[in-house]
Structure 1
Amino acid sequence: MWRKQSMNSFDVIIIGGGPTGLSTAITIAKKSDLKVLVLEEHSEIGNPLACGEGISTKKLLTLENMPRVSQEIDGSILKFQKEGSFIEREIISQRFFFDTAGVATSNLNTVTINRPLFDKLLAKEAEEHAATIQLKSQVLGITKKDQKLEVKTQEKTFSAPLVIGCDGPSAHSVQMMNLSPPTEYVQGIEYKIEGVHTDALDFYFNFREFPKMHYGWVFPKKSHTNVGIVTDTASKPKKMLVKFVDYLNNSNMKKSEILKEIAGIIPASGPIPKKYCDNYMVAGDAAGMTNSIFYGGIAIGIHTGMLAGETAIKAHESQRFDDEFLSKYQIRLDSCPYSDPVIQKAHELLYNKFSPEDIETFGSFLDGWDITMISKFQKIILLLKALKKPSTLRRINEIRTVAHGFSKSRDWGF
């Protein structure tokens, strides 16, 4: 039974109806009888889309709050039931292209998904557990009144003792609460191209050909292919994407019709320093919690939303919504693998410090290798190769940092 409250009064208000906000709502609504409101500024869950639509199979199957999937074991092979599913294609390998220097591979089970359907399934589960989702509800302001926060939208003002910001890269709620938002962003832009042009997840680190591009990707879907790039926000992303597609057409991809273009910004400065204050927590992209090597955010958003939801339940049980109590949320976040500072250090080296020549050299070292798990013998081979290039040998610790950051982040999505 709900406690008596006015129609506009809730126990928890969640700002944002993407995977992070919906995961937060599912956790709270499923594990408590708290009255939960999700405010989503757009008119439809799952749109507009700004996502490469890839996620690791491991996280899909092990993280709480992921949409339920039907699967069966065929020998040692996990097979998903695709009929009516958000899963579009199962992928068992990645390829990493380094200009003309080489191609490395990695075996990491992954799926590409129908992201709008994925989000809608999350919303359905949240509503099944009695969470309220209100669309077309852009938040215009947040103010403190009588130990609660009042959240103003275009049409109504809602109140709750606890608000959780899950409003994506814009991080408007973070700024409204006078916390520091992400300070660095990159631009992701993608074409959906007719036909399937690869059976792997392909990543292109072509820094010599595209100096301002962080990386390019080619992700196969059910009947089309997502082709995109991540680049600095100051560059001309669409012009660079056109050039990248031309490059692919001249190498290994058949020229095909462009079905749709999508774009969005991605936080790249790492987790914000403080993710809570009195009556407020922030999760997912709004907190800078993305994979800053591959710029993925779905799995991290789902997990940070779960942690925020669990903290919200404990806050209500203790009737404590103060800064000190909510600091427990950040302590839990900081212990998660995706919060490891080595990932951000690897990001800085890979995208801001290493030159195109450095990347080309590393690519030549790894050409033909499966880098899923590099053996001790392979590490010796790498060291011997580095000995032949003194400039590379001097940077061996930096190379190790990038490798460590890669291994820490690779499970957390693209």
Structure 2
Amino acid sequence: VIIIGGGPAGCSTGITIKRLMPELEVELFEQRPKISKVECGEALSKKAVEENQDIIGRFFNKCIRRGVREFDVIINDNLEKIVSSPGYMIDRSIFNKSLLKETERVGCKVKMGHRAVPIGRKNGKWKVKVDNRYTHKSYIEECDMLVLAGGSSFKGVVDTGLISEKDYEKWSRNHVFGYQYKVLSSYNNERLFIDFRPNPTPEVVYRYGFYHHDNESNFGLLYRGRFVTKSFYDKLLNELLRKLKIKRVKFIERPVGNYIPGSGPLPRTYDDNVIAVGDNAGFANPIFFGGVHAALSSGRIGGKIIVEAFKNKDLTKNFLKEYESEWRKMPWGDPILIKGREIHEKVRNKEPVTQEELEIYSKALDITKDYGW
């Protein structure tokens, strides 16, 4: 098995496979030479932790910085909700590194600084071109099973035929870009806040802020569209800090986040000898854009199906379709969330909505609250 991507989805898949079938050889390729210090979003719901104890249970306690019980959601000037969703503020740097170490501990071969791209399938095996950024040399690997976990902007889903180039361009139009400051400040509101209110920059999906721990806070925004410039995002976030009257700001990190899928799951997430998991498959909440929970859970589901496929000696799409059947039972597979996103845009812009649309929107928010992301 080759896994492309060393984030939560890829690691979860690898851990699951090795625990259920230790004799299976699993290689994980991650193009980054090391895991980034901070990423946008450092909250994880209690439900996510409970659901994935077999993946993160050994190390999760050391990642916790504080507990969270609820958060404010400001949709427009007339609509604000306090959502009860217990969870944790975590240190994503420790979390990501610990998850990668756990992946190695169970027996996966993890290769950092290696960019892997699928280049074709023949006789039931995928060929993958691997570029080693340390030696600047390339080589070809073959595998019986390929797992695409390279994030929402990784086009391995096109290379493997899960989606056409044209359809991928349409699908990726709703991707958002996350940008965040980590600062030392006087801000100490225990509740997270997410502010969807339209502002002079319509491409901003929402701005957020939350107290992390020990006077550290995270402030960020999600922007729909391709990366503009760092100075542009800096300007938008500085406006947020002034609006909140944040004092004594000292910057710890100014990280640039990744693209986050916003169109819902790919039309197809499996084919012969291949599946897509996590952000690469479009598994993120299309309203709030949380994705770690879905990444961990989809990797766990995918890993179990892969093991069953090997046991049955059937890695064709006829067997792997069970993967899609299983993840569609999860909240991120609920079409109400996609409909809810469209209605959400109307509500935040104070456009007219029907009673039926309001009911769908309410259900979408309930799914988010109940699932904890």
TM-score by length of 2: 0.88
Other-structure match for 2:198: 207
Structure 1 contact 228–241 (Cα < 8 Å) conserved: no
Rg (Cα) greater in structure: 1
Aligned with 1:186 (options 148, 158, 176)? 176
Residue 227, structure 1, aligned to residue 204, structure 2: no
Q: Which amino acid aligns with 2:278?
A: G
Aligned with 1:136 (options 113, 119, 122)? 113
Other-structure match for 1:397: 356
Q: 1:234 and 1:162, CA in 2 relative to 1: closer, same or farther beyond 3 A?
A: closer
Instruction: For residues 303-330 of structure 1, give each alpha carbon's deviation from its aligned partner in whole angstroms, at most 9, with x where no partner exists.
Output: 0001110111011111111121111111
Instruction: For residues 228-259 of structure 1, give each alpha carbon's deviation from its aligned partner in whole angstroms, at most 9, with x where no partner exists.
Output: 11122158585356334424423453351233
Aligned with 1:250 (options 243, 248, 251)? 243
Other-structure match for 2:150: 167
How many matched pairs?
Answer: 355
**1:278-297 map, 5 Å:** 278-297=272-291
2:114 is paired with a residue whose SS is coil
Gaps of 5+ in 2: 132-137
Aligned with 2:69 (options 92, 100, 116)? 92
Per-residue deviation at 1:210?
4.9
Deviation beyond 6 Å, 4+ runs, structure 1: none
Structure 2 contact 184–248 (Cα < 8 Å) conserved: no
Q: 1:118 and 1:141, CA in 2 relative to 1: closer, same or farther beyond 3 A?
A: same
Instruction: For residues 272-321 of structure 1, give each alpha carbon's deviation from its aligned partner in whole angstroms, at most 9, with x where no partner exists.
Output: 11111111111110011111111011010000001110111011111111
Query: Which is further off, 156-165 or 89-98?
Result: 89-98
TM-score by length of 1: 0.79
Instruction: For residues 58-113 of structure 1, give each alpha carbon's deviation from its aligned partner in whole angstroms, at most 9, with x where no partner exists.
Output: 2212324442268xxxxxxxxx95xxx11112111211234543542122212111
**1:312-391 map, 5 Å:** 312-351=306-345, 353-354=346-347, 356-358=349-351
Structure 1 contact 55–412 (Cα < 8 Å) conserved: no
Aligned with 1:410 (options 365, 369, 373)? 369
Distance, in Å, in 1 between the alignment partners of 2:281 and 2:80 is 34
Q: 1:113 and 1:355, CA in 2 relative to 1: closer, same or farther beyond 3 A?
A: closer
Structure 2 contact 27–111 (Cα < 8 Å) conserved: yes
Query: Which is further off, 285-294 or 329-338?
Result: 329-338
Instruction: For residues 16-36 of structure 1, give each alpha carbon's deviation from its aligned partner in whole angstroms, at most 9, with x where no partner exists.
Output: 110000000000001112111
Other-structure match for 1:75: none
Structure 2 contact 118–126 (Cα < 8 Å) conserved: no
Structure 1 contact 149–163 (Cα < 8 Å) conserved: yes
Distance, in Å, in 2 between the alignment partners of 1:178 and 1:296 is 26
Instruction: For residues 346-387 of structure 1, give each alpha carbon's deviation from its aligned partner in whole angstroms, at most 9, with x where no partner exists.
Output: 111213x345235xxxxxxxxxxxxxxxxxxxxxxxxxxxxx
1:290 is paired with a residue whose SS is coil
Q: 1:234 and 1:279, CA in 2 relative to 1: closer, same or farther beyond 3 A?
A: closer
Structure 2 contact 186–249 (Cα < 8 Å) conserved: no
What is the aligned-residue RMSD (CA, Å)?
2.3
Aligned with 2:159 (options 171, 176, 179)? 176
